[in-house]
Amino acid sequence: MKKNFLSGLLCAVLCIGLTGCGTPPTPTPKVEEPEEQQESEFRLFYSIEVQTLNYMTTNSYNETEVSANIIDCLIDYDNYGNVLPGLAESWEHNDDMTEWTFHIRPNVKWVDYQGKVYSEVKADDWVACAQYVNNAANNSTCQYMYSSGSIVHGAQAYYDYTEYLVESANGTRTVNDDGEPIEPVPEAKAEDIGVKALDDYTLVYTLDQPCPFFLTVLSYPSYMPVSRQYLQEVGDMFGRDNQNVLYNGAYILSYYQPQEKRILTKNPTYWDIENVHIDKISAEYNPDAYMVQTSMFLNGEIDQAQISTEMLDTWLSDVKTKDLVHPPRPEVSYSYFYCFNFDPHFDEAYEPENWRIAVKNENFRHALMASLNRQELMSVYEPYHPEDLISSTITPKTFSVVDGKDYTDLDALKEFTHSDSFNIEKAQEYRDIARPELEEVGVTFPIKILLPYNPGTMNWDYECALAEQQLEDALGTDFVDVIVEAGPETGFLSAVRRNGSYAMLKCNWGADYADPETWSDPFAGGSSYMFWDKCDDPEIQELFAEWSEKIEKASNTFNDDLKRYTLFAEAERILIENALVVPFSIALAEGYVVSKLDQFEGEFAPVGIVLQRYKRQHLREVSMSMEEYEERYQEWLKKRVSNSSSSSN
């Protein structure tokens, strides 16, 4: 608007100069010209360059930031998480949800980086992707989505066979580089994968088991389409740059110069172009982006910047900037929780056998759980609003909706959802009950609690030191002796968690699909989290059996969402109610933000790449304030539940 105003003012000045002081010309009727529509542009910095544009081989956030906007998926989402038709106009499944049929939208075009039409999107494009991703020779890091939860028929068998071919050099090697034998794998063909094109517009996925949440795995790069013909034409050059990839999404990567700049421009042939409101996204490379982005934002040179917690006080105390800062929407695809190890394997100096006996005692575990002030612990990372990140359940709030309510508000969980486990008085009551019980079975005091951390994770050492202080202050150093120890920075998970080299440890899990079943994986038998399935205590064995039975029943309930979710909630309750695990938080955001994007307009899904799309968003005149953010967020939370059309979102 400012540009048009200045142009008009300049014309007025020129007119005055031309007419001078002579007789004014005879006025002519004014003709209203339509105001020229200005191109909307969103400008930002980035400091880490993408390594590939081959979306079928990577699920790295840095790479999917591009692919999410240039390639569409079978389904779409609205801003409350409801599934909408995408490149599939409609779909249906058989009675046991093992066969899903998608009807592909006709006349959707593949175009090149200049917008020139290459071909039409067809059902075989998804078949080509499945065969590419599941060929081990292509080194796809997102292949696991074909065998995680959804279990596409034949996909893992084909991957295992092609992996054998790679390792054995097509069967010519019988031992690997370490001298270990290479076991032959039964032959499998790409055509055996359960992804078939019945015709140009009919696509069928066949699964090995019922999967009511199958739609929610379709927004991962490994389920994006690719033109088979184009893939064969360009070969290994596919995805090397913006000229060696095709586009069918809302944007085209029209300019791409690594470590300089990349520009996404609106795809003029896009099937849903009326929902694309930003014409151009310009991202400029700057290795010091994190350091200079705030000043560039204030100078009007970019439209988004991160505000670290260290800078927040300065921004909030300045009248010019205090109303521009707000947090990002909570990230609910990751959950953090403290695990107790029921099968310890650590150095004798830390008395693993003493811990092995003590951790079986429920009152002892409750005493530890009630001693942890999670809000204070989270303030190590987020000193301003730590309460927004605390989670009292393993499954985060807003992750799933069923029967008109959030999953965490189901009867089995709502008691925990709306309360805090931290209570020093209760902790001491549990301690006083536990002590004679522990003495009776031979536990010695103080009970040593090995609490390791990864020194490569910022502030984790401070969190552990604070947890040590909380536990020892609440329960007494004559009862517990918390030993905080740094693990290896490289290979921490293998050396510590998977090896059982801890008594107590903060762990995390990331969701693969939008169903509560995904949060049960860390606690299943054979998992390398807390090893409760290996505990010889009859009470723990009984709890594990009860939990496993509920999980199995829930997993096999695929035609009644409320019943399915209720069973998962009841299983989750077993973990929390018996203090087998201590829920902690959702994922920590990287500081606060100033942005001309309205995040509540954008598409929402708790998994996949949906949150990285610019589709449906408008540019704001100014960044929203803390107050506006909180108002919008609370409104969104209510509508997320009331507007939910299904539980699989």
Task: Kindly report, residue by residue over 326-371, the tens digit of the pLDDT.
Answer: 998 888 999 999 999 999 999 999 999 999 999 999 999 999 999 9
Q: Answer yes or no: do 80 and 208 share one domain.
A: yes
SS (H, E, C) 630-647: HHHHHHHHHHHHHCCCCC
| Any domain includes 356 | yes
Task: Kindly report, residue by residue over 218-231, the tens digit of the pLDDT.
Answer: 999 999 999 999 99
Residue-level pLDDT at 324: 96
Residue 46 has a CB neighbour count (10 Å cut-off) of: 17
CA contacts within 13 A on the Cβ side of 221: 26
Distance of CA 390 to the CA centre of its chain: 17
Provide the residue range defining the domain that includes 476.
335-519+578-586
Q: Answer yes or no: do 82 and 198 share one domain.
A: yes
Q: Answer yes or no: do 244 and 339 share one domain.
A: no
| Any domain includes 107 | yes
Longest CA–CA separation in the chain, Å? 112
Q: Answer yes or no: do 94 and 230 share one domain.
A: yes
Residue-level pLDDT at 108: 98
Q: Answer yes or no: do 363 and 214 share one domain.
A: no
Residue-level pLDDT at 308: 84
Q: Answer yes or no: do 216 and 350 share one domain.
A: no
Q: Answer yes or no: do 471 and 347 share one domain.
A: yes
Q: What is the CATH number of the domain that holds 191?
A: 3.90.76.10
- DSSP state letters, 275-325: G----EEEEEE-TTHHHHHHHHHHTTS-SEEEE-HHHHHHHHHSTTTTTT-
Task: Kindly report, residue by residue over 535-551, the tens digit of the pLDDT.
Answer: 999 999 999 999 999 99
Q: Answer yes or no: do 233 and 343 share one domain.
A: no
Q: What is the CATH number of the domain that holds 367?
A: 3.10.105.10
Residue-level pLDDT at 109: 98
Cβ-Cβ contacts under 8 Å for 457 (sequence gap 6 or more): none
| Any domain includes 11 | no
Residue 644 has a CB neighbour count (10 Å cut-off) of: 20
| Any domain includes 228 | yes
In this structure, what token pair is assigned to residue 405? 């309510």
Domains contained in the chain, number: 2
Q: Which residue has the tokens 């896009």?
A: 270
| Any domain includes 468 | yes
Q: Rounded mean pLDDT of the chain?
A: 92
Q: Letter for the amino acid at 181?
A: P
Q: Answer yes or no: do 231 and 340 share one domain.
A: no
Which contiguous run of DSSP H or E holds residue 466?
A: helix 460-475
Question: Residue 252: phi, psi to the nearest 5?
Answer: -115, 135
| Any domain includes 192 | yes
E strand spans, 570-624: 581-587, 592-595
Which of 224, 249, 274 is the C-terminal boundary of a domain?
249
Residue-level pLDDT at 31: 43
Residues linked to residue 406 through DSSP beta bridges, in sequence order: 401
Q: Letter for the amino acid at 184?
A: P
What residue ranges of the chain have pLDDT lower than 50? Answer: 1-34, 647-649
